[in-house]
Amino acid sequence: MNSDNFKVKLSLRDAISKLDDNIIRQSVTGEKIDYHVITGNEDNGAILIVYEKYFQRVGNRITLTVVMDNLDGQTKVHSIGGGAAQGMFFKFDWGASESFTSLPREIFRMDII
């Protein structure tokens, strides 16, 4: 399991839209499995999103869990990839979970603070 943390100069709403556009609309196998929104006030909140995508190198669908919030005024992004390893004890996934975990950083590369 890999994880990544960074801040972006986008509103929470714009960050969600950009992530969805790149993972779902610009991908053949990417889909949003579920999400949960926590609303602070009219300007602040948090969201947990679970995406899933097929990775040929492991012959499996893997998940990307993303938590974003702007509770302190800046939009923070935390991503975790997992579910790519095969078997009960074998945790090697040919780098698929690391690749999926780093996808939000790649998507937001021009927006990172």
The string of pLDDT tens digits covering residues 28-79 is 888 999 999 998 877 799 999 999 988 776 667 788 999 999 999 999 999 9
The answer, yes or no, to whether residue 105 has pLDDT greater than 70, is yes
pLDDT at residue 31, as a whole number: 93
Strand partners, 11: none
Q: Which residue has the tokens 């779902």?
A: 24
Structure tokens that stand for 68 in this block = 């974003």
Report the CATH number of the 3-108 domain.
Answer: 3.30.530
- Of the ranges 5-19, 41-55, 85-99, which one carries the lowest mean pLDDT score? 85-99
Say which range, 20-24, 72-76, 83-87, has the weakest mean pLDDT.
Answer: 83-87
